[in-house]
Amino acid sequence: MKKILLLSVVALLLTGCSDKNNYTAAVLAELELDKKTAGAKDYNIPQDKMADCIVAASSKNMDGVFALDPARLTAYRNYTKMLTLAQSADPKKTLEELREGFGSAQKLMEARSNYTESELECLTLFVANTNSEDTTKTDK
């Protein structure tokens, strides 16, 4: 019985890590393609750190209470699908799946807003840190 429980927990952990890693990879790909990240390049913000920040910030407003909550894992999958919509073979079908996955068109719009706000929050955070580091260097 203990072995079955242990195997179940391990399978859940692997699935959870995979969903979050897929979302992080989708965020990183979005950053690399997105023209708005010119600001990130101007401030020498590492794309991988920016992606990690966006994942952490957007996760705060996702469904689910903790990282391995089934609702959170579903949210990671839906956010990944949302970010890769442009690469979909049938974008209309994928958009309909996203509406169903999020529960409504309104919830999908809120998810996209959450992602965008998280991106701007992280950019602001990195720019503020860069500016404070520059000020510290010039004060010495």
Is 58 in contact with 76 (CB distance < 8 Å)?
no
Residue 54 phi/psi, 5° resolution?
-65, -40
pTM of the model: 0.79
pLDDT of residue 35: 58
Closest CA to 26 of 53, 51, 5: 51
pLDDT of residue 7: 47
pLDDT of residue 44: 77
Mean pLDDT by 10 residues, the chain (140 residues): 53 60 92 65 81 95 83 93 93 95 96 96 89 58
Sequence ranges of the domains in the chain: 2-132
